[in-house]
A and B are shown apart, each in its own frame.
Chain A
Amino acid sequence: MSAVEGIEAQVAEVTAQLPRSRGPFRPRRRPALWRVSIMVIVAGLYLIILLSSIKFSLISASGKYDLSNYSAIFNSADVRASALLSLEIAGIVAAASVLLMLPTVVLVRLKLPRLTIWMEALTILPIVVPPIVIVAGLDQMRETAPLWLVTLLFNHTITALAPFYLIFSLPLMYRSIDTGVRAIDLHTLVDASRNLGAGWWTTIYRVILPNVQTAVLGGMFLTIALCLGEVVLADLLNLPTNTFPVEMIQFANQDNAPGVSVAMTLLSFLFTFLLLFVLTFLARRRGHRTSGVIS
């Protein structure tokens, strides 16, 4: 046994006798079976579909291994247009959602805490309201509402989808921002800012926003993910142009090229995952807990 190993063994013995402390000095124990087993199950579930999709996306229509599915994505003008359209919608909705929810959450926390439970109830609704029911309602609206309103909303894909995606984004944005705002000393910040002569607009966007940056970004990225994946409204409302996920469905169902759909899935998944993954490092540097931000 070398000297270093001896010291290590000794340290291990001493630390093993120390009372279990929390934080970074907790002695390393063997992970328990109940933890390892579920991690293996879940990792297995997702690795199977991830690896299968990668392999599947690399097989061309003629059965050979190549990158033709990926080049089909980048060469198709329709796909490029749909990707741009989806990113545009995602950007608009994410920005609008922050503009709407940040002042609302701050106001409720500061002045109207009685409304908190109503906000929670209202903002959980879009998770369970069936998108197909929204489609049914809009269908009815198209038949009976005044014509100017119908053309204003449904003549362009962005105006038809963005308002409803904004509703779908409320649960994500509310919970993200609320977690962020709860972690800062809101009263002091607002009082200080107001005493120095700042108006409400300045207070919210130049004092509070930088303090809840990670939470806001978390909400925005989840909103982007949502906009890039939503298909029920985008597909069934019979809109003038296709969004990215609708294009994805058409490759599989109409064009009989599921390989391209799977390649599009992988690319968009990678994009949104990286957005959120980078965010977790940002969150750590600012000393916030990430799990609360992304929820």
Chain B
Amino acid sequence: MLPFAVIVVAFLGVPLYYVIHGAFSTNTGGFTLANFSAVFSHAQYLRALRNDAVLALWTSIGPAILGLWFAAAIVAGNPDGLLRRIVASASGVLAYFAGAPLAFAVIASYGTLGTVTVLINSLFHVNLTNTFSTASILGVGLTYFYFQIPLMVIFVTPALEGLRPEWEEAARNLGATRAQYLRRVAAPVLAPSVIAATLLLFGSAFSAYATALALDGGTIDIVPTQINLALSNNVIVGQTNVGEALGAEMILIVAVVMVLYWFVQRRAGRWLR
């Protein structure tokens, strides 16, 4: 227990402490609230925050729906089948490994010289690059779908497997239709797990920066980009501390999401264990 606690405190706790400490410090080390007032008043920071939140919202709800649907389709199939194995291993790889590498796969498909872009241009004489760029928020969001869907599959599969066939049989025996079973039994049992998983997806999308970094060198207007800019800015004195304040802001938002997650997850435990 002790080594675990030491490592978590040293390598997770200490960096977070430095962020929060830096956020309340001037560049000479004195206490100040100026960094936060900059973060919450400058238009560029507020815009980045809004962009990030909107991006995280649609790239969590969309993949949550697709991922839940897909996981249900897989769980309904043969548990030892080849399909199940491929999905299990591919979702593991895609969800955890894929921020940056997936960005290149997306460039190869939908980028300026991407295969899909070239194909559509030669077939329909429509130039996709006029309306869509992989180096935009839309392009980054599209890439998020490719790792958020597998992440959702990983999170909800245990809950779906926990739905007992006996419950459906019992409901059917009592005269319920399949739709009634889904609405009255399956949905309420699954709802907390699904909501909890969606919250995690939101957190993961909100925090992600690898994809943006790989797609366009990390310049799209989201909070991590502003942090990166502030940290590498050597011209304006005290700018790194504003970066720390932006980091503290992200910690705060993620913390709120995690508290919500915690409450929902506790309800999920009631039926599925």
A residues bordering B, Cβ < 8 Å? 22, 31-32, 34-36, 38-39, 41-42, 45-46, 48-53, 55-57, 100-101, 104, 107-108, 112, 115, 121-122, 124-141, 143-144, 163-164, 166-167, 170, 172, 218, 221-222, 225-226, 228-232, 235-236, 245, 248-249, 252-253, 258, 261-262, 264-265, 268-269, 272-273, 276-277, 279-281, 284, 289-292, 294-295
Contact = CB atoms under 8 A, between A and B. Distances in A.
Given A35-B76, A107-B1, A279-B89, A172 B96 contact: yes
B154 interface: yes
A226 B210 CA distance: 12
Contact of A140 (B22, B149, B210): B22
Nearest to A164: B11
A143 B111 CA distance: 39
B58 interface: no
A129 B12 contact: yes
B203 interface: yes
Contacts of A140: 18-19, 21-22, 240, 244
A127 B258 CA distance: 11
A48 B108 CA distance: 10
Given A52-B116, A53-B108, A135-B231, A228 B18 contact: no
B88 A141 contact: no
Contact of A129 (B104, B243, B254): B254
Interface in B91-150: 91-93, 96-102, 104-109, 111, 113-116, 145-146, 149
Contacts of B100: 229-231, 245, 248-249
Contacts of B30: none
A169 B58 CA distance: 27
A190 B228 CA distance: 49
A238 B148 CA distance: 28
Contacts of A277: 85-86, 89
A112 B1 contact: yes
Interface string B140-167: 0000011001000011011001000100
B141 to A, nearest CB: 14
Contact of A49 (B12, B92, B105, B224): B105
B19 A133 contact: yes
Interface string B222-255: 0010011001000000001001101100110010
Contact of A269 (B101, B209, B262): B101
Contacts of A115: 1
A164 B217 CA distance: 23
B252 to A, nearest CB: 11
B137 to A, nearest CB: 17
B188 interface: no
B209 A38 contact: no
A259 to B, nearest CB: 8
Contacts of A235: 213
A232 B100 CA distance: 9
A56 B261 CA distance: 41
A107 B105 CA distance: 42
B231 A139 contact: yes
B15 A134 contact: yes
B79 A57 contact: no
B73 interface: yes
Contacts of B170: none
B204 interface: yes
Contacts of A124: 200, 258, 261
Contact of B203 (A32, A35, A45, A127): A127
A35 B88 CA distance: 17
11 contacts: A46-B146, A132-B228, A137-B22, A140-B19, A226-B96, A229-B96, A230-B210, A231-B214, A258-B104, A276-B90, A277-B85
Contacts of B51: none
B70 A53 contact: no
B79 to A, nearest CB: 7
A249 B114 CA distance: 17
Nearest to B3: A100
Interface string B208-221: 11100110010000
Contacts of B17: 137
Nearest to A133: B247
A61 to B, nearest CB: 11
Contact of B97 (A56, A229, A284): A229
Given A221-B92, A225-B93, A277-B85, A292 B105 contact: no
Contacts of B66: 38, 41-42
